[in-house]
Structure 1
Amino acid sequence: MAQVSMTVNGKAVSGEVEGRTLLVEFLRTGLGLTGTHVGCDTSQCGACVVHIDGESVKACTVFAAAADGAEITTIEGMANADGTLSVLQQAFQDHHGLQCGFCTPGMVMSAADLLKTNPSPTEHEIRDWLEGNICRCTGYHNIVKAIQAAAATMSGQAQAAE
């Protein structure tokens, strides 16, 4: 067993894990953060995407011990401080970018990383970025629309703040 400590959604956490414990398992079972989903166990679906030190990573590909000392953000950490949905989460709701919701946490986390990297992506860039995230319900059209809408809103907020 190994002791791990990390910051998850702005809070210091620690726990004891076996060397083979995946980060997704530690988040879900150890911390009760079940928004990060396990879809395939083979790192192909993207339902488990979280941010590790600001970068989107599939949590089923990282051992919890390897994340020791890291800053982790899960879908639960994406909401605004008052508990309301973030611009990106609200855009997914407003533009019907989800149906069953299983892939949604991973999609939102991947999209947030994209918008941090590229605040005004084209449709092609969005589709390319989401290549590692599988959705079996929406056909991606509304997901792309939601990300474009969030990008427009976020750039409008940035311009208003200047």
Structure 2
Amino acid sequence: MLASITGKSIITLNVNGENKEVAVKPSDILLNTLRNELGLSGAKPGCENGDCGSCTVIVDGWPIKSCLMLTVEAIGKKIITVEGLQNAPIQKAFVENWGFQCGYCTSGFLMVCHALANIHPDANDHVIEEWLQANLCRCTGYEEIKNAIKSIMQGNI
């Protein structure tokens, strides 16, 4: 259940394992709060309507497009940003498999792939393809991203 918030209120968010107090308005989106109030710039503003996935973070274990979530909806939830991965295997897999090109979409893909590895550790090609459809890469790096997540699934990282 959401707290009743009017005007600007101080709320507590659990981000990357730490409780952080932030002043927010009811209309603030999580993406802007993470970037502007907490200085966590890993989630990128892209389309800002949920299509591209560059703003993806993990909320209670699931990848969420932070441009579509109000900050107040995150009260009482555990948020992980790319800054909170702290040397997760998917990061090494992206490096070893060249799972990035320009890098703008990379943090969103890292978050989707990290969640996928945790939720479906035995994912087949169909499930991987389905999950990767949530994010866009304009540099067409999908094959390398698939190779990165598959290397995690096969225990090669």
User: Same fold judged by TM-score > 0.5?
Assistant: yes
Relative to its length, the structure with more helix (as a share) is 1
State yes or no: 1:50 paired with 2:63.
Answer: no
Cα deviation digits, residues 121-159 of structure 1 (max 9, x gap)? 2222211111110001134000000000122227x8xxx
Percent identity of paired positions between Structure 1 and Structure 2: 36
Stretches of structure 1 that go unaligned for 5 or more consecutive residues are 80-84, 157-162
- 1:138 maps to a residue whose letter is T
State yes or no: 1:74 paired with 2:81.
Answer: yes
Q: How does 1:12-161 map to 2 (within 5 A)?
A: 12-79=19-86, 85-153=87-155
Cα deviation digits, residues 25-84 of structure 1 (max 9, x gap)? 0000000000111110111000111111111111001111111122110000011xxxxx
Cα deviation digits, residues 2-47 of structure 1 (max 9, x gap)? 2221110011101111111100000000000001111101110001
Instruction: Give the aligned CA root-mean-square deviation in angstroms.
Output: 1.4
Q: Which residue of 2 aligns with 1:82?
A: none
CA distance in 1, matches of 2:94, 2:65: 20
Q: Is the 8 A contact 2:13 2:22 kept in 1?
A: no
Q: Is the 8 A contact 1:4 1:64 kept in 2?
A: no
TM-score, reference length from structure 2:
0.90
Q: Secondary structure at the match of 1:143?
A: helix
Stretches of structure 2 that go unaligned for 5 or more consecutive residues are 1-7
Number of equivalenced pairs: 150
CA distance in 1, matches of 2:38, 2:21: 9
Q: Is the 8 A contact 1:19 1:65 kept in 2?
A: yes
TM-score, reference length from structure 1:
0.88
